Chain A
Amino acid sequence: MREKILRLIEKNAKLSPKEVAVLLGEDENIVAKEIEAMEKEHVICGYHTMINWNMSPEEKADAIIEVKVAPQRGVGFDRIAERIWQYPEVEGIYLMSGSFDFAIFLQGKSMREVAMFVAEKLSTLDSILSTSTQFVLKKYKDHGVIMEKSEKDERMSIS
């Protein structure tokens, strides 16, 4: 049942336990308890709202930073990652296979702010060998959601 609940609320966190229970044909109390348990176990780590910031008056700049590091003996990449994720500017950090080590997702008020963060904070960390900054120009699809399309039902209304 956990898998079914997760699949449902992954795409719509606003569904209430009661609604989830109706959709899955399960008991409301059991569903509510499962969700609570998964929150405690950190299977569910939080609830987000998908925002298309392009449509809001607030300016945002997103960037992906490819980072090469020198891993430390004994603790490997994890210690460095922990050091990096402490910065509130860091939205996400992934350990990657391939030609660089970390992909870091940054969000700032402007490109300049993001660039300054990389220059002054990130690249000055001891274990970091090099960084390469890529700015996001436009988000078309994020977390499986198409950002700017308002779906219109083109089917015949009665058929």
Chain B
Amino acid sequence: MRNPLSRTIESIPPSGIRKFFDVVNEIDGAVSLGVGEPDFDTPWHVRDEGIYSLEKGRTFYTSNSGLKELRQEICNFTKRKYDCNYTVSETLVTVGGSEAIDIAFRAMLDEGDEVIIPEPCYVSYRPCAILAGGVPVIIDLKEENRFRLTAQELLQAITDKTKILLLSFPNNPTGAIMERKDLEEIARICIEKDIFVVSDEIYSELTYGKERHVSIASLPGMRERTVVINGFSKAFAMTGWRLGYAMGPENIIKQMTKIHQFAIMCAPTTSQFAAVEALRNGDEDIELMRESYDQRRRYLLSAFEEMGLPCFEPEGAFYMFPSIKRFGMSSDEFAERLLKAEKLAVVPGTAFGTSGEGFLRISYAYSLESLKEAMERLGRFIKTL
């Protein structure tokens, strides 16, 4: 029999997160700081709206692009929060931000086009780029730059084949953000070199510095060359609802909608009705959760300091990215030994790219009590090294 598999898919290694997940699952009673989703339940009024839509029998397909009402609310939200002006025809509702990443690449890349991906980053960009025929070009971000992308790093990575720059700030796993001044430099280069930007801003509501999230699409000249990806998972604690969206120039969104139409049809209807409620009446929920994450972030920073674990101060998402370089072992080894000795699971930085070597991703999407317990375990472990 011939090999049923495509050479492309076989060439792609499985997710590093997945690999560690299997290791953790074998340990009984492990405490985990490994999740990438909020510990909050979806706010009740949002869940209630989903339930109501089911009671009313709204169990049909929506239009391919998503409920018009929802797309309008997304436009309002994006205007209100980030001062980006989009219309409903420039907005596509997707099955999570993940689908939007995939179809943005498929709509924009031809065989051999290069996609610049700054790492460490979420695990799906590289495989999605490859599956779309693109060639990932990795930039290793540096701790001394607080894991921000610098103009110089970008310039060095650009070739005549570069088509897309992928940005993911606030960042999973580092918690890094890009401020307006950082983005302005990047935008200038993108315009000069005629490069498009796919900007995954799924953590945009979770920033903790003085300056709130800035979308690169809001900078002059960038709207026409940027696809913004966002969603409901992190801001509204709606991971399981699988709902995200993409906003961008109409010609790109139109082709993305074509792929979405053939592959997905439409995002889940119940989720779409619930999301309308989230956008209309959810600002206070976001703020409460954001404040709570911020408190835990401060708690972990102080706990790390006490146990002598160096960590740059993350200003977004809900992850810490402490350095374990001074213990003289690899991230994998540290994480595995920590798991065995203290039954505490964290994700090795290498799951997010080779530049994650020497770091751990520690999620603070946990209650303060759980974090305290985990910090005791981590502190004990470090003392034995």
Contact = CB atoms under 8 A, between A and B. Distances in A.
B302 A22 contact: yes
A159 B17 contact: yes
A22 B35 contact: no
A85 B296 CA distance: 41
Interface of B: 17, 20-21, 24-25, 30, 32, 34-37, 39, 295-296, 298-299, 302, 345, 347, 368, 370
A157 B20 CA distance: 10
B295 A159 contact: no
A22 B296 CA distance: 9
20 contacts: A8-B295, A22-B299, A23-B298, A23-B299, A25-B298, A153-B39, A153-B370, A155-B35, A155-B39, A156-B21, A156-B35, A157-B21, A157-B24, A157-B30, A158-B17, A158-B20, A158-B34, A158-B345, A158-B347, A159-B21
A122 B25 CA distance: 60
Contact of B298 (A12, A24, A153, A156): A24
Nearest to A19: B299
A26 to B, nearest CB: 10
A159 B37 contact: yes
A52 B37 CA distance: 31
A159 B36 contact: yes
B34 A159 contact: yes
Interface string A129-159: 0000000000000000000000001011111
A16 to B, nearest CB: 12
Interface in A48-77: none
B298 A157 contact: no
Contacts of B368: 12, 23
Nearest to B17: A158
Contacts of A19: 299
B295 A23 contact: yes
A24 B301 CA distance: 12
Contacts of A155: 35, 37, 39
B25 A157 contact: yes
Contacts, number: 44
Contacts of A157: 21, 24-25, 30, 32, 34-35, 345
Contacts of A24: 295, 298
B151 to A, nearest CB: 31
B302 to A, nearest CB: 5
A153 to B, nearest CB: 7
A112 B24 CA distance: 54
Nearest to B208: A25
A152 to B, nearest CB: 12
Nearest to B302: A22
A8 B296 CA distance: 12
A156 B39 CA distance: 11
Nearest to A7: B291
Nearest to B351: A158
Nearest to B346: A158
B339 to A, nearest CB: 11
For the complex of A and B, the 3 pairs showing the least CB-CB separation, nearest first, are: A158-B34, A157-B32, A23-B295
Nearest to A157: B32
A65 to B, nearest CB: 31
Contacts of B17: 158-159
Contacts of A153: 39, 370
A155 B39 CA distance: 8
A8 B299 CA distance: 13
Nearest to B27: A157
B50 to A, nearest CB: 18
B298 A159 contact: no
Contacts of A159: 17, 21, 34-37
A158 B362 CA distance: 11
A149 to B, nearest CB: 12
A156 B363 CA distance: 13
A30 to B, nearest CB: 15
A96 to B, nearest CB: 27
A35 B32 CA distance: 34
Nearest to A151: B367
Most B CB within 10 A of own CB, among A12, A155, A157, A158: A158
A32 B90 CA distance: 52
A158 B21 contact: yes
A159 B123 CA distance: 10
B26 to A, nearest CB: 11
Nearest to A12: B368
B34 to A, nearest CB: 4
A18 to B, nearest CB: 9
A146 B302 CA distance: 31
A158 B39 contact: no
B240 to A, nearest CB: 10
Interface in A2-29: 8, 12, 19, 22-25
